[in-house]
Amino acid sequence: MNGRLELTVLGCSGSYGAPPGGACSGYLVRAGDTTIWLDCGNGSFANLQQHARVEDIDAVVITHGHPDHCVDIYGLHVLYKYGLERDCLPVFAPEGVDKQLESLVGAWDDTFDWHLIGDGDGTTIGDAQLRFSRTDHPPPTMATEIRHANRRLVYTSDTGPGWSPEVFSRGADLVLSEATYQHDDLRVPIHLSARQAGELASAAGAKQLMLTHLWPSLDPVASVLEASEAFGRAVVLAAPHLVTHV
Protein backbone atom coordinates (compact mmCIF):
# COMPACT_ATOMS: atom_id res chain seq x y z
CA MET A 1 0.00 0.00 0.00
CA ASN A 2 1.38 3.41 -0.90
CA GLY A 3 0.67 6.70 0.86
CA ARG A 4 -0.77 8.53 -2.12
CA LEU A 5 -4.05 10.44 -1.89
CA GLU A 6 -4.53 12.01 -5.30
CA LEU A 7 -7.39 13.96 -6.83
CA THR A 8 -7.86 14.24 -10.60
CA VAL A 9 -10.55 16.59 -11.90
CA LEU A 10 -12.52 14.94 -14.71
CA GLY A 11 -15.18 17.64 -14.92
CA CYS A 12 -16.05 20.70 -12.86
CA SER A 13 -18.59 22.71 -14.85
CA GLY A 14 -21.47 23.84 -12.67
CA SER A 15 -24.89 22.42 -13.56
CA TYR A 16 -24.37 22.22 -17.34
CA GLY A 17 -21.43 21.56 -19.65
CA ALA A 18 -19.45 24.58 -20.80
CA PRO A 19 -17.34 25.04 -23.94
CA PRO A 20 -14.67 24.01 -24.70
CA GLY A 21 -14.96 20.47 -23.43
CA GLY A 22 -16.24 21.47 -20.03
CA ALA A 23 -17.54 18.27 -18.50
CA CYS A 24 -19.75 18.34 -15.41
CA SER A 25 -18.80 17.12 -11.93
CA GLY A 26 -16.55 14.09 -11.88
CA TYR A 27 -13.37 13.25 -9.99
CA LEU A 28 -10.94 10.40 -9.87
CA VAL A 29 -9.57 9.73 -6.40
CA ARG A 30 -6.60 7.45 -5.91
CA ALA A 31 -6.00 6.41 -2.34
CA GLY A 32 -3.06 4.05 -2.05
CA ASP A 33 -3.84 1.26 -4.51
CA THR A 34 -7.57 2.08 -4.63
CA THR A 35 -9.29 3.98 -7.45
CA ILE A 36 -12.65 5.66 -6.90
CA TRP A 37 -14.80 7.51 -9.44
CA LEU A 38 -16.47 10.25 -7.38
CA ASP A 39 -19.51 11.66 -9.19
CA CYS A 40 -20.22 10.83 -12.82
CA GLY A 41 -21.46 14.06 -14.37
CA ASN A 42 -22.02 14.36 -18.10
CA GLY A 43 -18.73 14.29 -20.00
CA SER A 44 -16.66 12.99 -17.11
CA PHE A 45 -16.50 9.38 -18.29
CA ALA A 46 -14.68 10.30 -21.50
CA ASN A 47 -12.14 12.27 -19.47
CA LEU A 48 -11.76 9.47 -16.93
CA GLN A 49 -10.46 7.17 -19.65
CA GLN A 50 -7.51 9.52 -20.17
CA HIS A 51 -6.41 8.94 -16.58
CA ALA A 52 -7.38 5.39 -15.65
CA ARG A 53 -8.22 2.02 -17.07
CA VAL A 54 -11.94 1.45 -16.57
CA GLU A 55 -11.24 -2.07 -15.29
CA ASP A 56 -9.11 -0.57 -12.51
CA ILE A 57 -12.03 1.35 -10.94
CA ASP A 58 -12.74 -0.19 -7.54
CA ALA A 59 -15.97 1.69 -6.79
CA VAL A 60 -18.19 4.58 -7.83
CA VAL A 61 -19.61 7.17 -5.44
CA ILE A 62 -22.58 9.28 -6.57
CA THR A 63 -23.31 12.19 -4.25
CA HIS A 64 -26.82 12.94 -5.52
CA GLY A 65 -29.29 12.44 -8.32
CA HIS A 66 -28.90 15.70 -10.23
CA PRO A 67 -27.90 14.80 -13.80
CA ASP A 68 -24.69 16.86 -13.73
CA HIS A 69 -23.39 14.46 -11.03
CA CYS A 70 -24.57 11.05 -12.19
CA VAL A 71 -25.71 10.47 -15.79
CA ASP A 72 -22.39 9.15 -17.11
CA ILE A 73 -22.89 5.99 -15.06
CA TYR A 74 -24.90 4.97 -18.13
CA GLY A 75 -21.70 4.70 -20.18
CA LEU A 76 -19.95 2.70 -17.49
CA HIS A 77 -22.87 0.27 -17.41
CA VAL A 78 -22.72 -0.26 -21.17
CA LEU A 79 -18.95 -0.77 -21.25
CA TYR A 80 -18.95 -2.98 -18.16
CA LYS A 81 -21.76 -5.20 -19.39
CA TYR A 82 -21.17 -5.45 -23.13
CA GLY A 83 -17.46 -4.59 -23.46
CA LEU A 84 -15.65 -5.85 -20.40
CA GLU A 85 -18.33 -8.42 -19.48
CA ARG A 86 -17.89 -7.70 -15.80
CA ASP A 87 -20.44 -7.33 -13.04
CA CYS A 88 -21.05 -6.33 -9.42
CA LEU A 89 -19.00 -3.12 -9.34
CA PRO A 90 -19.75 -1.40 -6.00
CA VAL A 91 -21.70 1.85 -6.44
CA PHE A 92 -22.50 4.02 -3.42
CA ALA A 93 -25.41 6.47 -3.76
CA PRO A 94 -28.21 8.08 -1.72
CA GLU A 95 -31.66 6.58 -1.61
CA GLY A 96 -33.56 6.53 -4.89
CA VAL A 97 -30.65 7.26 -7.22
CA ASP A 98 -30.39 3.69 -8.54
CA LYS A 99 -34.08 3.60 -9.44
CA GLN A 100 -33.98 7.09 -10.93
CA LEU A 101 -31.05 6.22 -13.20
CA GLU A 102 -32.29 2.75 -14.15
CA SER A 103 -34.69 4.31 -16.67
CA LEU A 104 -31.59 5.24 -18.71
CA VAL A 105 -30.65 1.61 -19.27
CA GLY A 106 -33.88 -0.38 -18.93
CA ALA A 107 -32.52 -2.60 -16.16
CA TRP A 108 -29.21 -2.64 -14.35
CA ASP A 109 -29.24 -6.42 -14.09
CA ASP A 110 -26.14 -7.31 -12.05
CA THR A 111 -23.73 -4.74 -13.50
CA PHE A 112 -23.51 -2.85 -10.22
CA ASP A 113 -23.67 -3.74 -6.56
CA TRP A 114 -25.62 -0.77 -5.17
CA HIS A 115 -24.94 0.45 -1.63
CA LEU A 116 -27.15 3.03 0.07
CA ILE A 117 -25.39 5.96 1.76
CA GLY A 118 -26.97 8.37 4.23
CA ASP A 119 -26.06 11.16 6.62
CA GLY A 120 -23.31 10.09 9.03
CA ASP A 121 -22.56 6.82 7.28
CA GLY A 122 -19.02 5.63 6.79
CA THR A 123 -17.46 2.86 4.75
CA THR A 124 -14.12 1.48 3.64
CA ILE A 125 -13.26 1.01 -0.02
CA GLY A 126 -9.89 -0.71 -0.32
CA ASP A 127 -7.27 1.66 1.10
CA ALA A 128 -9.76 4.57 1.50
CA GLN A 129 -11.97 5.44 4.44
CA LEU A 130 -15.10 7.38 3.50
CA ARG A 131 -17.68 9.33 5.48
CA PHE A 132 -20.82 11.05 4.24
CA SER A 133 -22.79 14.08 5.39
CA ARG A 134 -26.14 15.34 4.12
CA THR A 135 -25.73 18.83 2.66
CA ASP A 136 -28.08 21.80 2.24
CA HIS A 137 -29.32 20.86 -1.24
CA PRO A 138 -32.80 19.69 -2.32
CA PRO A 139 -32.30 16.01 -3.25
CA PRO A 140 -30.55 13.84 -0.64
CA THR A 141 -26.96 14.95 -1.25
CA MET A 142 -23.90 13.47 0.45
CA ALA A 143 -20.76 15.51 0.94
CA THR A 144 -17.91 12.99 0.99
CA GLU A 145 -14.75 12.79 3.07
CA ILE A 146 -12.01 10.47 1.83
CA ARG A 147 -9.09 9.60 4.14
CA HIS A 148 -5.91 7.72 3.45
CA ALA A 149 -2.52 7.69 5.18
CA ASN A 150 -3.35 10.64 7.46
CA ARG A 151 -4.44 12.79 4.51
CA ARG A 152 -8.00 14.02 4.24
CA LEU A 153 -10.02 15.26 1.25
CA VAL A 154 -13.48 16.78 1.77
CA TYR A 155 -15.77 17.21 -1.24
CA THR A 156 -18.81 19.38 -0.57
CA SER A 157 -20.79 18.12 -3.57
CA ASP A 158 -23.62 20.64 -4.07
CA THR A 159 -24.75 22.61 -1.05
CA GLY A 160 -26.26 25.86 0.13
CA PRO A 161 -24.79 27.83 3.04
CA GLY A 162 -26.65 25.77 5.66
CA TRP A 163 -23.96 23.05 5.67
CA SER A 164 -20.27 23.26 6.48
CA PRO A 165 -17.24 21.05 5.76
CA GLU A 166 -16.53 21.42 9.47
CA VAL A 167 -18.99 18.58 10.20
CA PHE A 168 -16.22 16.14 9.23
CA SER A 169 -13.90 17.80 11.79
CA ARG A 170 -11.61 20.75 11.27
CA GLY A 171 -8.38 20.92 9.33
CA ALA A 172 -8.96 18.92 6.15
CA ASP A 173 -5.89 18.91 3.90
CA LEU A 174 -8.02 19.86 0.91
CA VAL A 175 -11.61 21.06 0.69
CA LEU A 176 -13.02 20.70 -2.81
CA SER A 177 -15.93 23.08 -2.60
CA GLU A 178 -18.69 24.01 -4.90
CA ALA A 179 -18.71 27.76 -5.67
CA THR A 180 -21.50 28.03 -8.20
CA TYR A 181 -22.20 31.75 -7.89
CA GLN A 182 -20.62 35.07 -7.04
CA HIS A 183 -21.80 36.97 -4.03
CA ASP A 184 -23.39 39.91 -5.83
CA ASP A 185 -25.34 37.47 -8.00
CA LEU A 186 -26.69 34.80 -5.64
CA ARG A 187 -29.49 33.23 -7.63
CA VAL A 188 -30.93 30.36 -5.59
CA PRO A 189 -29.87 29.41 -2.04
CA ILE A 190 -29.18 25.76 -2.90
CA HIS A 191 -25.59 26.60 -3.95
CA LEU A 192 -22.69 28.67 -2.59
CA SER A 193 -21.10 31.84 -3.81
CA ALA A 194 -17.33 31.85 -4.08
CA ARG A 195 -17.23 34.08 -0.99
CA GLN A 196 -19.36 31.64 1.00
CA ALA A 197 -17.11 28.76 -0.10
CA GLY A 198 -14.10 30.69 1.18
CA GLU A 199 -15.76 31.63 4.46
CA LEU A 200 -16.94 28.08 5.19
CA ALA A 201 -13.56 26.53 4.35
CA SER A 202 -11.79 29.11 6.49
CA ALA A 203 -14.12 28.50 9.44
CA ALA A 204 -13.48 24.76 9.03
CA GLY A 205 -9.71 25.28 9.22
CA ALA A 206 -9.12 23.86 5.74
CA LYS A 207 -5.45 23.80 4.76
CA GLN A 208 -6.24 24.26 1.08
CA LEU A 209 -9.36 25.15 -0.88
CA MET A 210 -10.16 24.23 -4.47
CA LEU A 211 -13.19 25.81 -6.13
CA THR A 212 -15.38 23.75 -8.42
CA HIS A 213 -18.89 23.71 -9.96
CA LEU A 214 -18.69 27.34 -11.13
CA TRP A 215 -21.64 28.57 -13.18
CA PRO A 216 -20.15 28.48 -16.69
CA SER A 217 -20.99 32.04 -17.75
CA LEU A 218 -19.29 33.64 -14.74
CA ASP A 219 -15.71 34.95 -14.82
CA PRO A 220 -13.67 32.33 -12.92
CA VAL A 221 -10.93 34.85 -12.08
CA ALA A 222 -13.48 36.94 -10.18
CA SER A 223 -14.59 33.81 -8.29
CA VAL A 224 -11.01 32.99 -7.34
CA LEU A 225 -10.36 36.54 -6.10
CA GLU A 226 -13.61 36.59 -4.12
CA ALA A 227 -12.96 33.20 -2.52
CA SER A 228 -9.28 33.94 -1.81
CA GLU A 229 -10.21 37.10 0.07
CA ALA A 230 -12.75 35.21 2.18
CA PHE A 231 -10.44 32.22 2.74
CA GLY A 232 -7.52 34.43 3.75
CA ARG A 233 -5.06 33.06 1.19
CA ALA A 234 -4.95 31.95 -2.43
CA VAL A 235 -7.41 29.27 -3.50
CA VAL A 236 -7.04 26.85 -6.41
CA LEU A 237 -9.45 26.62 -9.32
CA ALA A 238 -10.51 23.17 -10.52
CA ALA A 239 -9.93 22.47 -14.19
CA PRO A 240 -10.41 19.29 -16.23
CA HIS A 241 -7.36 17.03 -16.00
CA LEU A 242 -5.83 18.89 -13.05
CA VAL A 243 -4.03 16.38 -10.80
CA THR A 244 -3.47 17.31 -7.14
CA HIS A 245 -1.64 15.43 -4.42
CA VAL A 246 -3.77 15.98 -1.33
* 83-122 binders of Zn ion (CB under 5 A): none
Q: How many residues sit close enough to Zn ion to count as binding (CB under 5 A)?
A: 3
Asked whether position 158 contacts Zn ion by CB under 5 A, the answer is: yes
From the list 65-73, 90-98, 107-115, 167-175, the region that binds Zn ion by CB under 5 A is 65-73
Q: Does residue 39 interact with Zn ion by CB under 5 A?
A: no
Residue 23: CB minimum distance to Zn ion, A: 12
* 68 near Zn ion (CB under 5 A): yes
Distance CA(40)–CA(67), nearest Å, equals 9
Q: In whole angstroms, give the CA distance from residue 223 to residue 142.
A: 24
Burial profile 208-227: b = 16 or more Cβ within 10 angstroms, e = fewer: bbbbbbbbeebebeebbbbb
DSSP 240: T
Closest CA to 69 of 10, 133, 119: 10
Judged by beta carbon, residue 136 or residue 158, the one nearer Zn ion is 158
Can residue 136 be called a binding residue for Zn ion (CB under 5 A)? no
Please state the closest distance from residue 172 (CB atom) to Zn ion, in A.
Answer: 21
- Candidates 18, 30, 66, 179; binder of Zn ion (CB under 5 A) is 66
3-state secondary structure of 47: helix
Binding site for Zn ion (CB under 5 A): 66, 68, 158
